[in-house]
Amino acid sequence: MYYRLTPETTPPHLQFLWQAPEPPQELYIAGQRSAFEMLRQLPLHGLAVVGARDHTGRCEKLMDTVIKKLKDSPLVIVSGLARGIDTLAHLTAIKYGIPSIGISGVGIDTHYTDEYQALKNNLIGSGGLVITEYGPKVVTKPMHFLMRNRLIASYTQATWVVEAKKRSGALNTARWAREEGRTCYATPCHPDDTDFAGNRILIERDQALPLWSTSDLGSVWLDLAARK
C-alpha cells in the first residue's frame, strides 16, 4: 500500500518535502501509516548515508560502529535503496532499531530487482518508509537515480559519503547537499586509495569534513559531540 501526496494535500509540518531543488510535482510514500511520524524529524534530524554500489567492505565496521551509537539519538538514517553502501545503511539502521527512510529512483510499484524488492519490503516491515516522486507504471530511467539524490540531500541535515571513487553518484548527492547549505562528511582515506578517491577530493577541497567517529557529527548535532 502507498499514499500519494501533493503540495495541496500535505500538512504544514511536512511542507519541507516540496522545498527541494526542482520540487517534485507529487510524492508516493509506502509504509505503515504510523511510520509517517518519523517525517517530523526531517530535515533537522536526517542523516544521509551514501556511497559506492560496489564497495570494498572496509567501511562496514565503521558504519556499524557509527550507526550503532546513534540508536539512542533522534536521528533518522536516509539513503537511496541502492546496492552497496545504501543497502548496508538501511540494514544497519534496521539492525539497531533506528528509523530509516529510503528515497527511491524507481516507480512506487516497480519491482526493480529482487534485491531491491527484498530491501524495500524489509525496510517497510521494520517500520521504515520508502519515498519516490515516480508513480505507478513509470518506466525507470538512469537519470531518475541522479534526480532522487537531490531529495536525499534536501530531506536531511547532513550527508555522509562513506566510500566513493572519483566518479560516483554519492558525489552528486554531496553536491546537492552543499548547494542546499547542508553539511557533508566523508570517510578519511590513504592518499593513494583509488576506492576512496571521491572522499579524498571532498576533504581536500574543503567540501566535506572527515568523519572518524560519531563525535564528529557534533559539528551539526551538538548532543552527539560527546559520543565516542
Residues 154-185: tens digit of each pLDDT: 999 999 999 998 888 899 999 999 999 999 99
With H, G, I as helix, E, B as strand and everything else as coil, classify residue 198.
helix
Q: Is residue 65 part of a domain?
A: yes
> Rounded mean pLDDT of 204-226?
90
* pLDDT(227) > 80: no
Q: What is the pLDDT of residue 153?
A: 98
Give whole-number Cα distances, 171 to 17, 159, 184, 200, in Å.
22, 10, 10, 11
CA 101 to CA 128: how far, in whole Å?
A: 6
Q: What is the pLDDT of residue 191?
A: 82
> Rounded mean pLDDT of 205-210?
96
Expressed in percent and rounded to 5, the helix, strand and coil fractions of the chain are 40, 15, 45
Q: Is residue 72 part of a domain?
A: yes
Q: Is residue 47 part of a domain?
A: yes
Domain count, the chain: 1
Q: Is residue 155 part of a domain?
A: yes
- pLDDT tens digits, one per residue of 79-129: 999 999 999 999 999 999 999 999 999 999 999 999 999 999 999 999 999
Give whole-number Cα distances, 216 to 13, 185, 224, in Å.
29, 9, 8
> Rounded mean pLDDT of 137-146?
92
Domain of 105? Answer: 2-160
Q: What is the pLDDT of residue 228?
A: 61
How would residue 201 be classed by pLDDT, with cut points 50, 70 and 90? very high
Contact 209, 216 (CB under 8 A): yes
Give whole-number Cα distances, 26 to 78, 81, 172, in Å.
19, 20, 22
Q: Is residue 202 part of a domain?
A: no
- pLDDT tens digits, one per residue of 21-77: 999 999 999 999 999 999 999 999 999 999 988 888 788 899 999 999 999 999 999
Query: What are 209's strand-pairing partners?
Result: 185
Q: Is residue 121 part of a domain?
A: yes
With H, G, I as helix, E, B as strand and everything else as coil, classify residue 36.
helix
Q: What is the pLDDT of residue 27?
A: 98
Q: What is the pTM of this model?
A: 0.95
CATH assignment at residue 25? 3.40.50.450
Q: Is residue 7 part of a domain?
A: yes
Side-by-side strand order, sheet with 158-161: 2-5, 27-30, 129-132, 100-103, 76-79, 46-50, 158-161, 183-186, 209-210
CA 117 to CA 94: how far, in whole Å?
A: 16
Q: Is residue 197 part of a domain?
A: no
